Amino acid sequence: MTNPVLAFVFPGQGSQQIGMLAEAAAAFPEINATFSEASSVLGYDLWDLCQNGSQEDINLTERTQPLLLTASVALYRAWLSQGGARPALMAGHSLGEWSALVCAGVLAFEDAVRLVRERGRLMQEAVPPGEGAMAAVIGLDDQAVENACADAAQGAIVAAVNYNSPGQVVIAGSSAAVERAIEACKAAGAKRAMPLPVSAPFHTELMRPAADRLAPQIEATTFLAPQTPVIHNVHAKTESDPSAIKSLMVEQIYSPVRWTACVEAMAAAGIGQLVECGPGKVLAGLAKRIDRNLVAHNIETPAQLSEAVKSTAQ
């Protein structure tokens, strides 16, 4: 059963926490089974890492990416096992777009685990530690942020990379240029502009070497037409052609995440309810800022999942 007004959204880096999904794993066998599948691909115990490791361990990009992918896919499988309605649309924020593609039937989970581990490793290697930075800018419109970045660049790279919601934009680039852009945003009237605790300037041109290195591996992987349409970060539209989806997933690494436009596209398509399929509630919060008519659900705990299944049943 598909609910025509329901969409699923999948979180990206930043939503990981030690101990996440412990309650869900006790209630739904799909959680442990999915983590076991991922562990066999990765060669280490992913569940043990996210329950008993350190926050520092799970914040390493090449670990964070397979971890969040696995958590999201596990929750989606649990959702379906509990009789949850299939969504009419999907989207994922940055890394979360890979979770969306797996749940939409575009590629096998094991292939996605391999690819996102490589994606994380290559993105981390693209810029040496300390040379890149990201910062969140609150309370400034998109154009003002873009202008501040243009003024601050001075021959280096700094750009708006995550359009998360109106008045919330993330910038990234080389460290010194980001520092200059933070000051420029404050001078332009931003309520806040603050560095983020991330290790690389994601979604900038500085990531193009990572994209170039990952492209042949994406090309060699089997992609199918999506069973559920996925709205892509790069252009906030759906795509049905597998080869075009491959190109978008390469481009996505060095292109801005147009999240506001993705959620607006869902609302325009008649979506009234969103389920955030993964740990945390970042995307549910952003959805309400983008369109206050959207009803957002989280399903990280058994109680939340059960309530959301009932609320979204037709």
CA distance 90 to 279: 17
CB 84 within 8 A of CB 228: no
CA distance 216 to 118: 12
- The catalytic residues are 94, 203
DSSP structural state of residue 257: B
Buried b (16+ CB within 10 A) or exposed e, 91-121: bbbbbbbbbbbbbbebbebebbbbbbbbbbb
Closest CA to 268 of 89, 95, 106, 147: 89
How big, in percent rounded to 5, are the helix, strand and coil portions of the chain?
Answer: 50, 15, 30
Give the pair of three-digit tokens for residue 202: 């994601």
Query: What DSSP line would sit under 224-255, residue for residue?
Result: ---SS-EE-TTTS-B---HHHHHHHHHHGGGS
